[in-house]
Amino acid sequence: MATTDHTDTSALARDLRPAGIAGWVATALLFTGVITMSSGGAPEPPMDAPAADVQRYLETRPATPLAVGSYLLVLGLCALLWFVCGLSAALRQRGVRPGWLPTVVVVSGTAAVAALLLGATQAGGLHGADGLDIQVAQFAYDLGNITFANAWVALGSLGLASGWAILAERAEPGSPDWPDWPAWLGWWALAAGAGFLVARIMWTTWVWVIPYLPFWLWVLVVSTRMLRRPTVRLHPPSNQGETP
């Protein structure tokens, strides 16, 4: 008499649609929030602007757009956490070596979100209409900018770990539905991640825009792929049968 142990493969399937939706929602909310916060008042000065320009910028920011934009920004950051967790689950495949890369993805994304959730980028304009001391204005603006720049490093780590994991998965075609991710998505993530690290060195210049926009476009492409191919399987071990 032969007995066979059956594995429920459906239990090992992960639905990535919520993560795909979260990626689109995060991108839309973050960009809308930043644009709303920057609307009205004096134009935003560069990161190395004189203190007088910074003071004028913070004092002229309208309270309502600042409050609405700040709220949208927080919602977008929370949605980004959902996307990062889904991305980590999608990359946690049998063929990925080293196996801790998906963990680096989720930790890096969490670090970036945590830095921006501190509120340093919004605190400077909270009471700007009441008048800000020039030194306080300069400190608040610099703190917001350096927090933003430090988040680039965490996003760079996310990009590097994601790209490495995607390429590592393709290097070992051991599953029927391999590859789950095309190689160009991996190289794209690596380029954006490396770009963030370079941009942090020259953080007071416009160089940060070069990796920043491609990174968010990559998020949208990955999110769309999650929606089009919503199920990823953690390939179970083969069934074993024994005949006494």
| pLDDT at res. 59 | 81
pLDDT score recorded for residue 77: 96
pTM of the model as a whole: 0.82
Domain spans of the chain, in order of start: 15-231
Res 230: pLDDT: 58
CA atoms of 76 and 155, how far apart (whole Å): 15
| pLDDT (tens digit per residue) in 64-98 | 888 899 899 999 999 999 999 999 988 886 556 67
Sign (positive/negative) of CA torsion 90, 171, 193, 150? positive
Count H helices and E strands in the chain, helices first.
8, 4
Per-position b or e across 132-154, b if 16+ CB within 10 A of its CB: beeeebbebbbebbebbbbbbbb
For the stretch 187-229, pLDDT in tens is 999 999 999 999 999 988 889 999 999 999 999 999 999 998 7
